[in-house]
Amino acid sequence: MNGVSSHRGGRIPVNLLTGFLGSGKTTLLRELLADPELKQTAVLINEFGEVGLDHHLLERIDENVVLLNSGCICCTVRGELVDALIDLDTRRARGVIPDFDRVVIETTGLADPFPALSTLRAHPVLANHFSVDKVVVTIDAVNGEAQLGDRLEAVRQLAAADVVAITKTDLCSREAVAALRRKLTAINPSAVTVLRQDAEAAHLLGGSSFSPDLADASTDADPLGGHGHHHDKGDGGHHHHHHASGGSTVTSFSLTVEGRLDWTAFGIWLTMLLNRHGDRIFRVKGILNVGGEDRPVAIHGVQRLVHPPVHMKAWPDADRRSKLVFIVEGLDQAVIERSLRVFNDLSDRLLSQTGENPSRQARQLAL
């Protein structure tokens, strides 16, 4: 990753910066914008309130800073988000405002990131002009743990994160920060956790490992994050954590699947699962060993939104098993795993009837 990338295939990367109320989103944004690498960044700030203040705190008022202050981005102002982004892009193209090569959207402290991500992906104009880059979430070292315990909004934000920036670390002990860090990794093992003061713009915002545009460049990028998901446990490679939040149970676990997955059956299974249970599946990420392919396929979903699958250039290590990380609320890991196997086997049975399945044919040949 060479600095903060720009204009991927003509599309401008968009970062979502979110985090619970008072967790330091605006402070982080102000510091990031001081970085020369982010000189050409447009900013959209969403505040829930009659009078917006955050844009003043940024200390950078120009035409590329837009305030959306008539409601929350995840419900009432999604239309405004579309209009603001299209307007920015149009004015940039006409040369009315300075060129920009990245957009950062700062959400309200209570926003669920999913609707904004969904809007960016689903809107026919936005999808062709903007690409979704990393979701950055700030977590307050002092109050973060309590917020994650009490507020499902905070858990949803954390689950959607690609990068978690821990803020206010100077206000508590090193041990408390380490404990919080372990907790964050337990809830969202696929995110990279950094201390805010160590965060550099390039690593914080740019180069999502799930970006198709980077599939060729980042052969060693591990979309499951740097927190060791390849646990070889005696129970068949499962690893899970539980976390109680607001009376509900948020669980993260990883599934390891031996053998190859049938892409078509997997697609039918995951779309059906997300259709029925998407509001309780905060995150799904995975590297798949797909039948008929030498290279792995990375998938990445937030609630019901699944990004275009990335065909990675190479496997990150020697392990060729498919791995899926789920962050769910109140769903049973064993049932999800069984369901996946049932659908994968269905494909095998159906297609072997007509001799369409090359992996089955290969097995029969081997016998």
Partner 1 sequence: MCALCGVLGADDHWTSAVSRPGVYTRNEDRVSRRREAAKRLKIANAVLQTRRLDLREWQGGTYILSNATGGTRVFQSLAHMWPEAEAMVSSGFDPLDAGFLQKIEEIAS
- How far apart (Å, rounded) are the C-alpha atoms in residues 80 and 242? 37
Q: How far is the CB of 356 from partner 1 (least distance, A)?
A: 7
Residues in contact with partner 1, counted by CB under 8 A, come to a total of 47
Nearer to partner 1, 27 or 264 (CB): 264
Nearer to partner 1, 60 or 311 (CB): 311
Nearer to partner 1, 90 or 128 (CB): 128
347 contacts partner 1 (rule: CB under 8 A): yes
β-pairing, 281-288 with 297-302? antiparallel
Q: How far is the CB of 145 from partner 1 (least distance, A)?
A: 31
222 contacts partner 1 (rule: CB under 8 A): no
Two structure tokens written together for 135: 């979701």
Q: Are 33 and 106 in contact (CB under 8 A)?
A: no
Q: Are 102 and 13 in contact (CB under 8 A)?
A: yes
- How far apart (Å, rounded) are the C-alpha atoms in residues 305 and 296? 21
User: In the window 98-157, what residues touch partner 1 (CB under 8 A)?
Assistant: 124, 127
Q: How far is the CB of 310 from partner 1 (least distance, A)?
A: 6
Q: How far is the CB of 227 from partner 1 (least distance, A)?
A: 24
356 contacts partner 1 (rule: CB under 8 A): yes
212 contacts partner 1 (rule: CB under 8 A): yes
For residue 308, give Cα distances in angstroms to 79, 131, 211, 305, 311: 23, 11, 9, 10, 10
264 contacts partner 1 (rule: CB under 8 A): yes
Q: Are 307 and 301 in contact (CB under 8 A)?
A: yes
- Which among 94, 91, 95, 99 has a CA at the least distance from the CA of 6? 99
271 contacts partner 1 (rule: CB under 8 A): yes
Q: Which range binds partner 1 by CB under 8 A, 69-77, 245-253, 319-327, 342-350? A: 342-350
- How far apart (Å, rounded) are the C-alpha atoms in residues 293 and 287? 12
- Which among 148, 142, 151, 120 has a CA at the least distance from the CA of 133? 120
For residue 127, give Cα distances in angstroms to 11, 37, 124, 214: 8, 25, 5, 18
- How far apart (Å, rounded) are the C-alpha atoms in residues 203 and 188? 18
The residue written with tokens 């990420």 in the block is 285
215 contacts partner 1 (rule: CB under 8 A): yes
Q: How far is the CB of 131 from partner 1 (least distance, A)?
A: 11
Q: Name which position in 170, 198, 216, 220 contacts partner 1 (CB under 8 A).
A: 216
16 contacts partner 1 (rule: CB under 8 A): no
User: In the window 292-331, what residues touch partner 1 (CB under 8 A)?
Assistant: 293, 297, 299, 306-311, 331
Q: Name which position in 66, 116, 163, 265 contacts partner 1 (CB under 8 A).
A: 265
Site residues for partner 1 per CB under 8 A: 9, 124, 127, 211-216, 263-265, 267-269, 271-273, 275-277, 290, 293, 297, 299, 306-311, 331-332, 335-336, 338-339, 342-343, 345-347, 349-351, 353, 356
